[in-house]
Amino acid sequence: MNARPLLSVKGVTKRFGGLVAVSNMSFDVAVHEMVGVIGPNGSGKTTMMNMISGAFKPTDGRIALKGRAISEMAAQNIARAGVGRTFQLVRLLPGLSVLENVIAGAVYGHRRRWGREAEDFAHDMLAKLGMDDQAGAPISSLTYIDQKRVELARTLAGEPEILLLDEWLAGLNPTELATGIELIHALRDEGRTIVLVEHVMDAVRSLCDRCVVMSSGAKIAEGAPSEVLSDPGVIRAYLGDDDA
């Protein structure tokens, strides 16, 4: 593994009032690595993503990108530093066309473009995800997976150094799911660094180099997917004590 991780999470805790959503989480992500963050519902995975992207500030701990602390930065500065994300429930801009939605990602992101250049680049991103034929369409005419593709294209348009995918495969039907997994595979083959929150275990097994398992806000296991998914502690966290 590389000497310095691209993303490093150290001792991060998040409290909402009296509730501890994430407690003392630590993990690293190396360049070109694909890390899965898994765990039962309510275990704090999305909160963890929100802290990396700057939607929430951690109560405690430190998050660093290439050695530079980002945990105290505002979301827009974290995005500019090179963190791109998709949302658990797709968030597109309904007043803008498909192409404009993607341009939005190219203009203010990590690598910034404007005018013709931004437009061309947005077309490239749409083409990569097989969406360029719908560039002029309004958002309301898209199917769910196409909305997810547009959101992903918008994120890629900012050329982030690290990509956070929050349950990108959730809500897709079996055919769409196969397409979705293929898409993420393609991103992986490009050598992108990705953190993936996911419930679809087949996808996690085939895509991730490494998994971090969360339960009740804390890390309970970390390692290769096959190892981690057969760990009795992890199975207990998913299925409850009785079944273990």
Partner 1 sequence: MLDILVSGLLLSGTYALVAMGLNLQYGVARIMNLANGEILVLGALAAFWLYTTAQLSPLLTVVLVAPISFVGNWLIYRFLLTPLVRRSKSQGALEVDSILATFGMSFVIIGVMVSIEGGFFAYNYLSEPISVLGSTTSLNRLIAFLIALAIGTALYLWLNLSRSGVAVRAVSVSTEASGLVGINVARVSAMAFALGGAITAVGGALISTFITLDASIGVVFTLKALIIIIMGGVGDIRGAIIAAVILGVVETTVASVIDPGLTLAAAYLIFILVLLFRPQGLFGRKPA
Partner 2 sequence: MKPASWTELGIAAILVFLAATVPTFANGYWLSIGVTAMMYVALATSWALFSGPTHYISLATGAFFGVGGYLVGTGMSDYQQPFWLMAVISPFIGAVLAALIGLATLRLSGVYFVIFTLGLAEMIRNVVSWVQNNFLGSRGLYVLTDLRDQHIYWLLLAVAALVYLLGWIISRSRLGFSLRIIGGDETVARHVGINTATAKVILFTTTGFFAALVGALIAPRWSYIEPNQVFSPQLSFLVVIMALLGGAGRLWGPLVGVIPFTILWEWVAIQFPNQSTLFLGLAFLLIVYVLPHGVVGRLEELRARVRGNP
Amino acid letter at 68?
A: R
Nearest distance in Å: CB 90, partner 2 = 10
Contact by Cβ (8 Å): 35, 194? yes
Q: Which is nearer to partner 1, 14 or 148 (CB)?
A: 14
Nearest distance in Å: CB 80, partner 2 = 5
Nearest distance in Å: CB 73, partner 1 = 16
Q: Which is nearer to partner 1, 17 or 232 (CB)?
A: 17
Beta bridge pairs of residue 210: 35
Judged on CB neighbours under 10 Å (0-12, 13-18, 19+), 171 is: middle
Contact by Cβ (8 Å): 148, 173? no
Answer with the entry of partner 2, partner 1, none that 85 interacts with (C-beta below 5 to 8 A by kind). partner 2
- Binding interface with partner 1 (CB under 8 A): 14, 16-17, 56-57, 94
Answer with the entry of partner 2, partner 1, none that 210 interacts with (C-beta below 5 to 8 A by kind). none
- Classify 20 as helix, strand or coil: strand
Task: Spell 79-108 as b/e; 16+ CB within 10 A means b.
Answer: bbbbbbbbbbebebeeeebbbbbbbbbbbe
Q: Which is nearer to partner 2, 94 or 174 (CB)?
A: 94
Answer with the entry of partner 2, partner 1, none that 179 interacts with (C-beta below 5 to 8 A by kind). none
Nearest distance in Å: CB 232, partner 2 = 38
